[in-house]
Every structure is written in C-alpha cells, then in structure tokens.
Amino acid sequence: MPYSVVGKSVKRVDAVAKVTGKAKYTDDFFERDMLVGKILRSPYAHAIIKSIDVSKARALPGVEAVLTHLTVPKVKFPTAGHPYSLDPSHRDKADRLILTDKARFVGDSVAAVVAVDELVAEKALKLIEIEYEVLEALTTPEAAMREGAPLIHEDCEQNILASRGYSFGDLEAAFSESDFVFEGEYETSPVQHCHLENQVSYAYLDGEGRLVIVTSTQIPHIVRRIVGQALDIPWGGVRVIKPYVGGGFGNKQDVTIEPLNAAMTLAVGGRPVKLELSREEAMIDTRTRHAFKFRIKTGLTKDGKINGIYIAAVSNTGAYASHGHSIASSGGGKFRYLYPAQAMKYEPVTVYTNLPVAGAMRGYGTPQIFFAYESHLDEIAHKLDMDPIELRQKNFVQVGHVDLLSKNRILSCGIRECVAKGKELIRWDEKRELYKNQSGDKRRGVGMACFSYASGTHPVSIEVAGARIVMNQDGSVQLQVGATEIGQGSDTVFAQMVAEVLGLPVEMVHVISTQDTDITPFDTGSYASRQTYITGMAVKKAAEEVKAKLLDFVWGMTDIPAETLDLRERNIVFKHNGEVVMPLEQAAMQTYYDTVFGRPLTSDTSNNARVNAIPFGVTFAEVEVDIKTGKIEVLEIYNVHDSGRIVNPQLAQGQVHGGVSMGIGYALSEQLLFDEKTGKTLNNNLLDYKLPTIMDTPDIGVGFVETEDPTGAFGVKALGEPPVISPAPALRNAVFAATGVALNRLPMNPQRVFEKFKQAGLI
C-alpha cells in the first residue's frame, strides 16, 4: 500500500529548536537558589571504609549538607533500566547503595556534599577524612575468579555474578558428524558512550512535598521506580521529568545519579540541588561497554554447512552488576538468529572486577559476539579456501525459522539481498581479485561481516508502550508518548505515523517531546531499538482510535456510515472515490462545541507487544594497511540493513552514519585504559580517549533492503542499535584479507597492529 507520509524524508520535528539553541536540555533550566551537589570518590579500587569524619567539611561556611553511607538509606537497589518484573528471580541484581560503605573501583562514590556553589563544594570534599582498609584490587576476570581472591560482593562466590547460558541439540554428535572443527579466540576492550551531554539532573520537593527530578535520561518511568526503591519511598511520590537529551547510547538506560541527587535534596529540606558530572567523572562513574573474551568452536561439513557451534564467553562487568549478565545473555540470544545450527552451546560467565561499571551500550552484547564470530567465520572460509560470502550464504536463516528458545519467528529476512547489495556497492569480486597477491608496504583488502538483532526485548521483558492523542479544534493533534527522544528521531517518526493515519500534514502533529511521569503515558523508555517498532504500535493504535471516533462522529453528523469514510489531506472523504464530505476542521470543531454531542476526541492507549521482528544487515569495508606503522585507513565502508520498512530515509541514514562511526571507533581506536595494579582509569577525558573526529571518519555509504514485517506498524523493524554491530569485524576481515594477519583483539590501533605484524614476520 502506498503511504503519503510514511517513507518520506520529512524534516525532524525538533530540528529548528536545535539549530537555534532553543531546545532546552536538563542543565538549561534553573530553579532559584539552586544548590550544588558534588561527589567524593574513592582513590582505591577496593577498600573498606573504616571511618568517616565529616565535621570539618560540615563546618565550612556555605556547606548545607554532607552525606555518607551512614546518612542515606541502607537499601540495596538495582540500577539497570529494565522493566520491573513481578517474578523476583527475574529482577536485576540489587547491589548498589546510594553511597557505598566499601569502595569497589577507583571513583566509587563514598561521600557527597551539598553547598551554595561549586567552589565551596569542592573545598568541602577535601575536608572529608576517610580511613580505608585497602584490599587487593582485582582488575581482570582471571584475578577475580582466582581461588581465594577477596570477594567484591559478599554474596558472589569467585566474584561470578552469573553464568546462565543455553544449549540445544546434541553438540558432540554435531561435531563428530562434521568434516572440520575449527577453533578460535577473540577479545574486545571496554569503551565509553561519550554522548556529548554528560549526566546531569536536579531535584527538589514541590509544594505538595513530592520529589521532583529533572534528568537527562532514556528511561523516566524506570528512574521513578528505582529512586522509589533506593530511598524506600512510594514510587508514586516521585516525579521524573525528561527534557531534550544530548545523546545516551544506553548509558542513560541506567540510573546513575538520580538516587543520590534525590537524597541530596532530602538532606536540605527539599531545596533544589543540581548534580552534574564532569566529563572525567562521567567516563569513570557511569557505564562502559563490557569487555569480552571468547573461545569458539565450529563444526562444519566440507562444503561449508555449519553443524554445531560452541561459544564460551567471559564478560567483565566491573564493580557493580548494572545490566550485568543480561549483556552476555542478550548477545548470545540475538546471535542465534543469523546462522541457526542444529546444535549449539553457549557458556557465558559474567564476572565482577574492581573496574568502572559496565552496562548497556548500543548493541547490548552483540558488537562483542559478532566481532568474535564473524572473525572466526573468515578464518574458516580462508582455511576452506572458500569465499567468505559463500560460506555465510550457505548458513543464513530462512523465513519461517522459529528460534527454539525464544520462540520468536522470523517473518521477514532480507539478509541475502543486503549482502548482494553490499557486494555490488564495494565491487567485491573485482577487488578480491585485484588485491590477491600484494607485497608492498601499503596493502589493501576488502572484508565483510553480518549481524542479526531484535526489535525490543520480547520474550525476555514486557514490552508495554503508551500513547495519547488529543485532537484540537482545527484538526491538528498533540501526541504524547512515554518513549523518549534522545536524538534518534523517534518523535519525528511517530509524528509521521500519526499524520499517515489521520490524513494530516506532519506539521499538524505536535509531539510533546518532554516526558513527565506524572503526565506522560507509561512506557519503559528508549532502549533495545524498540521505539519505532514497539512504541510505534501504540502510536498507530492511538491514531486509529481517534480516526474511528472521528468517523463515527461524522456519521452522526451526516448519516454517512463510518465504514464508507476515510481521512485524507485534512478532509473527511468517501473511501471509494476520495470525494470530500467535509473539511476535517469542521468535524473537529463540532466535536468540541456540538451542544448535544460535544466531546473532544482523544485516545489514551497502551500496547503490550508479544512479538519480536528480527532485523539483519551487513558491513562491507575496504582498507589500506600501512605495514610499517600499523595504521589502518578505511577507504570505503557500506552498511546495508534490513530494518523492515523505513519510515524516514534521511533519519534512518543518519542513524546508520552514527552507528558506523561508533563502530569504526570501536574497531580502530577507542579503549578505556586502566592501570593493572591500581585499577585507576588512565584516559577518562576526550583528549586521551580516542573518539573519532570528522578527520577520522570516512564517507559512510548506506543501503536499505526494505522488507515488510507483518508484526510492526507499517512493516517496521529495529534500526537504532544495529549499525554499530558489524563494522568492527568487517574491518578486521578486510585487514585479514589484505595481510593474512588475524587481528583477534579490539581495538586494532597502530600499536597493537604493529606488534601483531612483527610477530607475523611482516616487519
């Protein structure tokens, strides 16, 4: 069916506000006489707090309160931005206190000050005296799992947070029936989200004594719940407001500063307190991407059909659980869709260490596992002397496949078409041939890598989304959703969906971008690439409800049965021929002021989606490797996605550009570095942490294969996170093709590449 607004590159609904500086973010709001909160951080990676003396700090003029673990509620709470579960065994690990009594990483929050300004607050922090009993810093999973290692959290033996995996089929049989069994080991490094806006919030008690928190978050309704849990107060007594957000990428799908900010305002009788992290703080005390180590075994027939897959994974979650084992689980789960084998075993273990806390980050475990597996596949293709594309094609999933464990069914799959398109874009065959036998100092190669993902979290978590629409007298509408715009463009996509159903121009759909848990319909938030797919269902449902009510109303006005009517271009029309019955505005006006039937049209709806559409895609990349320096230059890179129908091509391309750029950083330069002895972060600033600049970013090519998934509104599937998944393995495979050297550890920065080349005898 042709659509009039869906599928068009309409301009972002918030673009003008953002280019004029009028878009207001959390720190752009002021309360009168706002106090400033600051955090005292542990200098030790692992230490028990023996005693704290705050008397000097408290006595400093301008200090309004000093908080320690002794003054805040002693309730352990979880921080991951997951929906609450009624099943206690399915809840996130509650291992956090607002201020800790034991430091578990360098930078852990051990005390806090509220003062009249920043300078006083900083001064006061220096006056807090703490006596520590220093314990061994466990900075690697190996050290943490060692027999006799001190426990970071008392209730986790060997510092293992969890180790639940999965297995199906007879793997032994699958391997013994195989002609070859290949093995490989792969490793990734921790990286940081580096959204441009750091974590910031302010909190106060309003006139009714309700706790109000304005914060830069992806998950306002979850913040409300977790602040309630942390402070042990009724959840309904907390009001969370989310203005524009300067990027999140999963880091703001976690509750980091809000409980402490709430405790701060309570400590000063409800006066407004602002808590803002500096870049340096945000890079150690929010979240990072889990570093993984993988051991993989794959059994295949000699013509390349995969019989069985074994994957062992060690995931380093740092000092607190946050999303913890969900990352390893989710990576392993989303991986399963791409190459369904008859037998598979996944054995992940998530380990606590004394390092900054790892949590959700765009891709949620999949960039790690696909780096490992897609690298592994290229080595297999090499050994079988087979084209890497051919090997994959023999094993791709088919439409109709039902995943044994999640029971999710593949109803649309464009991976083959994506690969075909990418292959053409990069001129694969020609370049593979051209770059076959190189020997100079600069060598070129092309590589590719694929992925599968998911749209939302079903069946792991609930997928409830809310939408509310109110139609105005002129036929324009307001739309409110609980899902948050954080830059990805969801507000614009929702406006397009509503405009499509109601026959309106997009400008007549006003999306209220601010979420306020007292007012906004319930939705768990922005994560898991769920907004267009999951919240989109609720938005479409709400728009259809308004449409049905309106056509019914017109029936009452005109005696023309509702089912013969439709909405088009701001008119009520006959469905069969488009003839105008009356302007929309006339009907809308009547709904307000009809003396008998006047009743403005609204819809307030919720949708609980129990489906999941699987998106697919591929990266193709061409590199030039400087053998002498180990520098890798990306010459061309293309991402081709099957994300179902694309609602807004320009915004969708933008999502892919950003994801690919993040993927290139992950592949080539980004890495948080720690001192192995002390656990101290060495590069928590934007100078030493190598985030790609415009100079490091090649021209990024984008393609879409538009399948139509029957479960999504308008046929959509997820797109937000997927672009970041496959660039790293594609680049690694391109380097492998160029040099024959297998770089199985990220990032592939010049130093590491140089060392590898040296080992391989290239230098």
Q: Report the interface residues with another protein, using CB under 8 A.
A: 9, 11-12, 14-25, 27-28, 30, 193-198, 244-247, 249, 278-279, 486-489, 650-651, 653-654, 656-662, 685-687, 691, 693-695, 697, 699-700
CA nearest 395: which of 296, 297, 300? 300
Smallest gap, in angstroms, from Cβ of residue 25 to another protein? 7
Residue 23 contacts which entry, ligand FES, another protein, none (Cβ below 5-8 A, type-dependent)? another protein
Q: From the CB of 195, what's the least distance to ligand FES, in Å?
A: 7
Comparison of 326 and 526: residue with beta carbon closer to another protein:
526
- Residue 11 binding result from another protein, ligand FES, none, given CB thresholds of 5 to 8 Å by partner type: another protein
Residue 76: name its binding partner from ligand FES, another protein, none (Cβ under 5 to 8 Å by kind): none
Output the CA angle 159-162-168, nearest 5 degrees.
145
> Nearer Cβ to another protein, position 654 or 750?
654
Q: Which does 245 bind (CB under 5 to 8 A by kind): ligand FES, another protein, none?
A: another protein
Cβ 570 vs Cβ 504: under 8 Å: yes
- Residue 367 within binding range of ligand FES, rule CB under 6 A: no
Smallest gap from Cβ 27 to ligand FES, in A, equals 12
Nearest-approach distance from CB 297 to another protein, in angstroms: 36
Longest dimension (CA), the chain: 89
The residue (of 487 and 703) whose beta carbon lies closer to ligand FES is 487
Distance CA 670, CA 194 (A): 11
Q: Cα–Cα distances in Å, from 303 out to 343, 380, 383, 419, 429?
A: 18, 12, 12, 20, 20
Q: Is 247 one of the binding residues for ligand FES (CB under 6 A)?
A: yes
Nearer to another protein, 198 or 256 (CB): 198
Closest listed residue to residue 53, CA positions, set 132, 150, 144: 132
Q: What does the alpha-carbon distance between residue 664 and residue 299 come to, in Å, rounded to a whole number?
A: 30
Which 8-state DSSP code applies to residue 84?
Answer: P
Q: Quote the least distance from Cβ 76 to another protein, whole Å.
A: 32
Instruction: Give the one entry of ligand FES, another protein, none that residue 1 binds, where binding means its C-beta sits below a cut-off of 5 to 8 angstroms depending on kind.
Output: none
CB-wise, 97 or 194, nearer to another protein?
Answer: 194
> Which residues 421-450 are close enough to bind ligand FES by CB under 6 A?
none
Count of C-beta atoms within a 10 Å radius of residue 581: 18
Q: Which residue, 340 or 727, is less far from another protein as judged by CB? A: 727
**By rule CB under 6 A, what count of residues binds ligand FES?**
3
141 binds ligand FES (CB under 6 A): no
DSSP 8-state symbol, 332 = H
DSSP state, 681? B
Amino acid at 312: A
Q: Does 348 bind ligand FES (CB under 6 A)?
A: no
Residue the block writes with tokens 């293309």: 638
- Please provide the size of the chain in residues: 763
Q: CB 654 → ligand FES: shortest distance, Å?
A: 9
In whole angstroms, what is the distance from residue 525 CA to residue 498 CA? 19
Closest CB to another protein among 602 and 697? Answer: 697
Pick the closer one to another protein by CB: 95 or 197. Answer: 197
CA 64/CA 38 separation, integer angstroms: 12
H or E stretch covering 595:
none
DSSP secondary-structure letter at 112?
E
Whose Cβ is closer to another protein: residue 1's or residue 695's?
695
Phi, psi of 336 (to 5 degrees): -60, -25
Taking residues 200 to 239 in sequence order and writing x for each that binds ligand FES by CB under 6 A, - otherwise, the string is ----------------------------------------
Residue nearest to ligand FES (CB): 196
Q: What minimum distance in Å lies between the beta carbon of 118 and ligand FES?
A: 15
Query: Which DSSP category does 716 fall into?
Result: B
Q: In Å, how far are 83, 90, 226, 268, 330 from 86, measured between CA atoms?
A: 10, 8, 15, 34, 20
Of 153, 140, 158, nearest to 78 by C-alpha is: 153
Binding partner of 40, given another protein, ligand FES, none, CB within 5-8 angstroms per partner class:
none
Query: Are residues 591 and 600 in contact, defined by beta-carbon separation less than 8 angstroms?
Result: yes
Q: Which two tokens stand for residue 566?
A: 């439709």
Residue 479 binds: one of ligand FES, another protein, none (C-beta under 5 to 8 A by kind): none
- Tell whether residue 165 is a contact of ligand FES (CB under 6 A): no
- Cβ proximity to another protein, 237 vs 246, nearer residue: 246
Comparing CB distances to ligand FES, the nearer of 85 and 278 is 278
CA–CA dist 363, 723 (Å, integer): 8
Helical axes 366-384 vs 727-739, angle rounded to 10°: 30
Kindly tell me which residue out of 1, 196, 596, 694 binds ligand FES, with binding defined by CB under 6 A: 196
Strands 616-626 and 477-481: unpaired
Asked if the bond preceding 459 is cis, omega within 30° of 0, the reply is yes
Concatenating the DSSP letter of every residue in 398-447 gives: -TT-B-TTT--B-----HHHHHHHHHHHHTHHHHHHHTSS--SSEEEEEE
Instruction: Tell me how far, at minimum, the Cβ of 122 lies from another protein, in Å.
Output: 13
Q: Which residue has the tokens 């200098």?
A: 43
Neighbouring residues of 681: CB distance < 8 A, sequence distance ≥ 6:
106, 107, 283, 284, 356, 672, 673, 674
Closest CB to another protein among residues 28, 390? 28
**Which one of ligand FES, another protein, none interacts with residue 12, CB within 5 to 8 A by kind?**
another protein
CB of 290 to ligand FES, least distance (A): 23
In the range 478-517, which residues lie near ligand FES by CB under 6 A? 487
Place of tokens 């594309």: 389
The CB-of-505 to another protein minimum distance in angstroms stands at 17
State which residue, 21 or 234, has the beta carbon closest to another protein: 21
Q: How far is the CB of 108 from ligand FES (least distance, A)?
A: 26
Q: Which of another protein, ligand FES, none interacts with 577 (beta carbon under 5 to 8 A by kind)?
A: none
**Sign for the pseudo-dihedral over CA of 11, 14, 15, 16:** positive
C-alpha–C-alpha distance, residues 670 and 191, integer Å: 6
Q: Look at residue 697 and give the partner it binds from another protein, ligand FES, none, a contact being a CB closer than 5 to 8 Å depending on partner kind.
A: another protein
User: Measured from the CB of residue 658, what is the shortest distance to ligand FES in angstroms?
Assistant: 8
CB 158 within 8 A of CB 145: yes
Q: How far is the CB of 197 from ligand FES (least distance, A)?
A: 8
> Could you tell me the CA-to-CA distances from 531 to 156, 535, 603, 718 in Å, in that order?
35, 5, 19, 8
Q: How far is the CB of 637 from another protein (least distance, A)?
A: 10
- Minimum distance of another protein from residue 693's CB (angstroms): 5
Question: What residue 657 binds from another protein, ligand FES, none (CB within 5 to 8 A, per partner kind)?
Answer: another protein
Tokens read off for 706: 């538009």
Residue 244, contacted partner among ligand FES, another protein, none, CB below 5-8 A by kind: another protein
Measured CA to CA, the distance from residue 672 to residue 294 in angstroms comes to 19
Query: Which C-beta is closer to ligand FES: that of 118 or that of 170?
Result: 118
State the minimum distance, in angstroms, from the CB of residue 695 to another protein: 5
- Rounded to an integer, what distance in angstroms lies between the CA atom of residue 653 and that of residue 258? 33
Bridge partners for 236 per DSSP: none
> What, of ligand FES, another protein, none, does residue 486 touch, CB below 5 to 8 Å by kind?
another protein
3-class DSSP assignment, residue 276: strand
Which CB atom, from 700 or from 718, has the smaller least distance to another protein? 700
Q: Shortest distance, CB of residue 686 to another protein, whole angstroms?
A: 4
Which residues of the shown chain bind ligand FES in the complex (CB under 6 A)?
196, 247, 487
